[in-house]
Structures are given as structure tokens and as C-alpha cells.
Amino acid sequence: MNKQTQARYDAKATVIKAMAHPTRLLIIEELSKQEHCVCELTDMIGADTSTVSKHLALLKNAGIVSDEKRGQMVFYTLKMPCVLKFLSCLETTLIENAREQLALVG
Amino acid sequence: MNKQTQARYDAKATVIKAMAHPTRLLIIEELSKQEHCVCELTDMIGADTSTVSKHLALLKNAGIVSDEKRGQMVFYTLKMPCVLKFLSCLETTLIENAREQLALVG
DNA sequence: TGGCTCATTGGTAATATAACCAAATTACCA
DNA sequence: TGGTAATTTGGTTATATTACCAATGAGCCA
């Protein structure tokens, strides 16, 4: 395979990998409604602050969210709204898949 | 967090995780053009057959592709066309991100 | 300044992923 | 039936991911 083509697949995979975690999906969906500081997200998620911070750093690195420091707090915003369409398509597909499974069973 | 909500995030993450690999993205894009047998995909990818087979099993398990055996060969088909829209949105975002990076430098 | 809160970074251990080789399975055909 | 090709499965090793704790950095205010 072409080197440039490979690089493009790698770049896309990096972004998708950043989405590929339940906690980070929750973050994305919450940020799609409104911006949040790390502390709010930490409350919602119920994990250690450092864990949440690392998830956010990963999302930021992938270009999915952006951050802004205001006072002591850091607010995160969703930067890539098109991921939402995908997530809703995913939801639909999951429901369909479940229906199929059910049909197989009886 | 709610147990059911958590389960939904897990299910979505599973599908996205299945996409989160350069080789599997290549497979998805190729299958979006037409069905392919494992041997054809193996040629394109240039990895061991067993490696490709495992990538395909993962995609199938996630409900992204489906397979059909015809003779000795197994043909794979894309089952979730909406992933393509997402990939093109991703492409756009990557270009935008690159432009931003460039702007920061020069 | 000193102490408090919010957030990030470093370290470590447990788990998950991914590649290859080897072996097993399935279908075809001489 | 024996042999060959296409796939899958099992095993192993190297690497990546993730969670938590501890320590650090940054901003606020009494």
C-alpha cells in the first residue's frame, strides 16, 4: 500500500480510537449539549479526576474537543459535531442488530 | 450512572472500537465499494491471512460486516453504510485540523 | 503568604490488542 | 481418496490502554 494512503488511515484511526471508550462517548454526548468543566464531568462519570483528565487530554489531542481555562476551572467543548450524527446512526444500528438477534432466537 | 445507560455506552464503544484500526478502516472502505473475499483483502493489506481473518471476525462481531461462504471462499459485505458518512466527516475534520496546525506554525 | 480547590502529570499494575506462526477445518477436484 | 487452496482458531510475544494513587502546578482569596 501507498505510504500516504497508509498515513491517512492511521490518522483516521487515531481519531476513531479516541472515541472508542464508553467514558469518552459519554463525554462527547454531554459536551454536545453544553460545555462542561472537568469537575462536572468527573461527577457524572464517577471516576478519579486524573482518569477523566486523561480521557479529555486524549480527546483534545485527537481534535475532538477543545479546552479553555477560566479561573481555576478548565471548560471543554465539542469541536467535531459530526460525530453526533454517527452516534445516532450507531444507535439505530444497534437497535436493528438487537432485533435481528431476537428474531434468531424466536 | 444508570446501569442501562452504561450498557448502551459499552455497546456503542464496542462498535467504534471495532472501527478503530487502520487495517479495519481500509477493509470498511473497500467493502463499501464492493464485496470481497478474505484472499482479496489479504492481498490489499499485505498482512498474514490469519491477521486479516481476525480483523474481519472482529468487524463481524461488531455487526459492521456480514459474511457469506461460497465454495471455499468467504465473502464479506459492509452491513452498516452509515459509517461511511462518518468517515467522510472525519476526513474533512482532519483537513481542518491540519490547516489549523499550519496556521499556528506559519 | 498560606491554604484551598481544580486540574494535569508521572508511576505502576492489570488487562486488552495485534502480529505472526503453526495447526485444524472445510470445500473442491483430479 | 488424497491433495490443494481458502479460512479460521490456538498459542505466544510485544505493545498499548486504562485505572488508580501520589505528587505537582496554577489560580483564588482570607
State the CATH number of the domain containing residue A31: 1.10.10.10
Q: Does residue B33 carry a pLDDT above 90?
A: yes
Within-domain flag for B75: yes
Q: Is A63 in Cβ contact with B94 (below 8 Å)? A: yes
Within-domain flag for A88: no
Within-domain flag for A27: yes
Sign of CA dihedral B18, B20, B22, B25: positive
Chain B nearest-CA distance from A71, in A, is: 25
Q: Is B89 in Cβ contact with A82 (below 8 Å)? A: yes
| B90 band by pLDDT with thresholds 50, 70 and 90 | confident
Number of separate domains in chain B: 1
CA-CA distance, A65 to A76, in Å (whole number)?
A: 6
Within-domain flag for B22: yes
Whether A67 sits with its Cβ under 7 A from any strand C atom: the answer reads yes
Range of the domain at A65: 3-80
| A103 band by pLDDT with thresholds 50, 70 and 90 | confident
Chain B nearest-CA distance from A86, in A, is: 6
Distance from residue A53 (CA) to nucleotide D18 (C1'), in Å? 12
Please report the pLDDT score of residue B27 as a whole number: 98
Q: Is A46 in Cβ contact with B1 (below 8 Å)? A: yes
Whether A11 sits with its Cβ under 7 A from any strand C atom: the answer reads no
Within-domain flag for A92: no
Q: What would the pLDDT profile of A59-95 be if each residue is shown by its tens digit? A: 999 999 999 999 999 999 999 888 888 888 888 888 8
Q: What would the pLDDT profile of B46-80 be if each residue is shown by its tens digit? A: 999 999 999 999 999 999 999 999 999 999 999 99
Within-domain flag for A58: yes
Q: Is A12 in Cβ contact with B91 (below 8 Å)? A: yes
The beta-carbon neighbor of B13 closest among A22, A44, A83 is A22
C-alpha cell at B29: 472502505
Q: Does residue B24 carry a pLDDT above 80?
A: yes
Can you tell me whether residue B87 is helix, strand or coil?
A: helix
Within-domain flag for A35: yes
CA-CA distance, A83 to A95, in Å (whole number)?
A: 19
Question: How far does CA A50 lie from the centroid of its chain?
Answer: 17
Cross-strand pairs, B77: B66
Chain B nearest-CA distance from A54, in A, is: 17
Q: Is B7 on the interface with A (CB under 8 A)?
A: no
Q: Is B6 in Cβ contact with A22 (below 8 Å)? A: yes
The beta-carbon neighbor of B86 closest among A1, A26, A86 is A86
Within-domain flag for A33: yes
Protein-contacted bases of chain D (C-beta within 7 A): 5-11, 17-23, 26-28
Q: What percent of chain B has pLDDT over 70?
A: 98
